[in-house]
Chain A
Amino acid sequence: MDIYISGASQISMQEPLSTGWFTQPVLYDASYRRSVEADYRQFIAPMAARRMGRLLKRAIAVSSDALRQAGLDMPDAIITGTGLGCIENTENFLSAMTFQGEELLQPTQFIHSTHNTIGAQVALHLHCHGYNSTFTHTGISFESALADACCQMQTGRIATALVGGHDEMTPGYFRLLEKTGYWKPDATQARLRLADTPGAMAGETSVAMVLRNVCSDTAMARIAGVSLLCKPDDRRLTEAVEELTQGTIPDALMTGRSGDCADARIYRHISQMLYRDRVPALWYKHVFGESYTASAFGILTAALCLQRQTVPAPWLLRPEDVGRLPQALQNILCITQFQNKVYALTFLKSC
């Protein structure tokens, strides 16, 4: 069965609800940037929005915008990937527990401190009573949601799905990870590209994609397959890629390179092992930053490359690879790995 990305929207450190970033992204020299907020009043009534934290507002905005682009009022399913859910509410709830002796806790903070609040609030907003599921699988949470949507479609249970990837980076959580060396203190674009020191640039993710089992006018790319792997060795990874691509050499590799030196070594090894480093490598975390669901931006960027049949310069890891890209882009293999433990492969083809 063919599955198509028929609409997609994002809120990030780039211009919200826009694709202007695809050709002209704002490239920050910073360790930490929060998302640029959209005008949520066009999506959510003030009385409904008052209880929502910023991640919920972003999720509803990108979901509504992606559905509008796809020309779909109601999806058959809402499937969400998130590493930490509404961590801001969780922090507030835990702080209140600490400082108020576990008494007199505000119910709203508690309700929103669960991971599946995001998918639930989107469903409440859309009045969607269909299948609703949330995946919290560290760095492959978004691909896990994508894989579930594909399975549900292939078994004929659903024909459309709203798949989201949502994570926020609060100052508190940023500081905690900073202590472990997770972020690059001098995260300039040059240093991220060089990837010769530990650490990445922190970002936030809100991405929604509408999947359909038919190719409509709005289709951006076809999802040829999604594969999830746990601690694969080189042989297993190679087999999984060959199975997914059916031996096709992709036109480009969309890598999840974050700018961290250990992370870069892993992606260099993959590219060398699979294709002797001959396939142009693309990246996106220098534009959107690192978060548990940042890979959603990689898939979104790859889908836009296939839809518009171009790879703008900012996405090329090595600028000289521009001459190695084919005139007609047919497919892109997106590879995500998290701490060399879990891997996700997403193979996209042009429509």
Chain B
Amino acid sequence: MEEDLMLNLKKQIIEVLNLEEISPEDIADDAPLFGEGLGLDSIDALELIVLMERNYGIKLSDPVQSKAIFQSLKTMADYIAANRTK
């Protein structure tokens, strides 16, 4: 179940951020999403916030909390598993 969520999340991130040359296997579960790792930026963060609300019904409003959630794919998936409404 958790693996399914992780794989779906990877596919959704690739689609919404248009990461054309990256496949789900290229995204390490624990690698940082911002700065190093995938090297995402602040506009990507906005896209991920929209993705969380649209696909999982999770509304993020606390920037400090968001920073922790978006640390890696695993932290994102853990938060979604515990808080999703759809």
Could you tell me which A residues sit within 8 Å of B by CB distance? 46-47, 50-51, 100, 104-108, 111
Contacts and interface: CB of A to CB of B under 8 A. Distances in A.
A108 B47 contact: yes
B43 A108 contact: yes
Given A106-B47, A111-B43, A51 B54 contact: no
Contact of A46 (B21, B43, B47, B53): B21
A104 B50 contact: yes
25 contacts: A46-B20, A46-B21, A47-B39, A50-B17, A50-B18, A50-B19, A50-B20, A51-B17, A51-B18, A51-B43, A100-B54, A104-B50, A104-B53, A104-B54, A105-B50, A106-B16, A106-B47, A106-B50, A107-B43, A107-B46, A107-B47, A107-B50, A108-B43, A108-B47, A111-B43
A108 B21 CA distance: 19
A42 B81 CA distance: 41
B49 to A, nearest CB: 9
B23 to A, nearest CB: 13
Interface size class of B (residues with CB under 8 A): 10 to 19
Interface of B: 16-21, 39, 43, 46-47, 50, 53-54
A104 B21 CA distance: 26
A47 B22 CA distance: 10
A86 to B, nearest CB: 14
A106 B50 CA distance: 7
- Most chain B CB within 10 A, of A46, A100, A105, is at A46
Nearest to B54: A104
Contacts of B17: 50-51
Contacts of A100: 54
A262 B43 CA distance: 47
Contacts of B39: 47
A272 to B, nearest CB: 52
B56 to A, nearest CB: 12
A144 to B, nearest CB: 30
Given A51-B18, A106-B50, A111-B43, 7 more contacts: A46-B20, A50-B17, A50-B20, A104-B54, A106-B16, A107-B47, A108-B43
Nearest to B53: A104
A101 to B, nearest CB: 11
